[in-house]
Amino acid sequence: MARRTKIYEGKAKILYEGPEPGTLVQYFKDDATAFNAEKKDIIDGKGVLNNRLSEFFMNGLNEIGVPTHFLKRINMREQLIRNCEIIPLEVIVRNFAAGTICKRLGLEEGMRLPRPIVEYCYKDDALGDPLVTEEHIAAFGWATQQDMDDILSLALRVNDFLSGLMLGVGIRLVDFKIEIGRVYDGDFQHLLVADEISPDSCRLWDIETGQKLDKDVFRRDLGSLTDAYTEVAQRLGVLAKNSPAASKPTLIS
Ligand code: 5GP
């Protein structure tokens, strides 16, 4: 059996060379990490759920004309994506106060923010992905002013799309992180939503109960992470209501 070429391995995913030029295969691992990988575990089935959920969100975005790197799902853990140059920023959109903004600004968790707030962090694990301003981004050449205008517009469109989708199934989109890639088409280049969109990179709270249905379940030891992600997938119709958490192979007698 021929070994395929691994391009990159991150905390939650592996990228392999794709079948055609300009494509990659994105493999979703079961590894969960938090607090800059100080807390780690293997959560059986997480990769399968995130693959399906990210497919669902990216397909929806493609459908409404927000470009993404997603081409198609290949199997339970892998999807075919466009190869793009990742802009070294985490783009965070916040609708309600939670996580680091609470610590930074002394806000009460759950407070509705006056409007969606977009923040940028420099992608560097060794530095703990520090918050940066547009001044840093321009000065260090991580993105141009035109890129930043496009990134802001993409981030807000993703926010409107995901907020509405979640609201429809009784979930509040508190905040999320996306990454942006650059692709070249001849003389032109454009930006697209890359990486993944899943409960690993969003905060999702049940609107009625406030129950957390995202990676904070792992960060704060609040119960089963796969149960939380399965709940999100079932409410969105990505998994059938009575399907068990996607991980374990079921013996057919
Ligand atoms: P915070 O800055 O409050 O830690 O995170 C804000 C939002 O961005 C949360 O939804 C969080 O899950 C997401 N986020 C921030 N940094 C990362 C990261 O390095 N990886 C992932 N998967 N999500 C992140």
Give, for all 253 residues of the chain, the pLDDT tens digit: 778 899 999 999 999 999 999 999 999 999 999 998 899 999 999 999 999 999 999 999 999 999 999 999 999 999 999 999 999 999 999 999 999 999 999 999 999 999 999 999 999 999 999 999 999 999 999 999 999 999 999 999 999 999 999 999 999 999 999 999 999 989 999 999 999 999 999 999 999 999 999 999 999 999 999 999 999 999 999 999 876 654 554 444 4
Q: Do 74 and 99 share a structural domain?
A: no
Distance, CA 190 to ligand 1 centroid (Å)? 25
Q: What is the pTM of this model?
A: 0.94
Distance 61 CA to ligand 1 centre (A): 20
Indicate if 122 and 96 belong to the same structural domain.
yes
Q: Does 98 lie in the same domain as 196?
A: yes
Output the CA 56–ligand 1 centroid distance in Å. Answer: 20
Token pair belonging to 75: 């199997």
* Ligand 1 pocket, mutate which of 31, 92, 102, 111 (most atoms under 8 A from CB): 92
Q: Which domain holds residue 34?
A: 6-84+225-236
Tokens of 173: 């989109």
153 and 101 co-located in one domain = yes
d(Cα 29, Cα 49) in Å, to the nearest integer? 10
Q: Which two tokens stand for residue 239?
A: 């998994």
CB contact set of 151 (below 8 Å; sequence gap of 6+): 87, 89, 91, 143, 180, 191
Q: Judge whether 24 and 33 are in contact, CB under 8 Å.
A: no
DSSP assignment string, 55-117: HHHHHHHHHTT--BSEEEE-SSSEEEEE--EEPSEEEEEEEE--THHHHHHTPPTTPEEEEEE
Overall number of domains in the chain: 2
Residue 20 belongs to a domain: yes
Residue nearest atom 18 in ligand 1 by C-alpha distance: 201
Q: What is the CATH number of the domain that holds 65?
A: 3.30.200.20
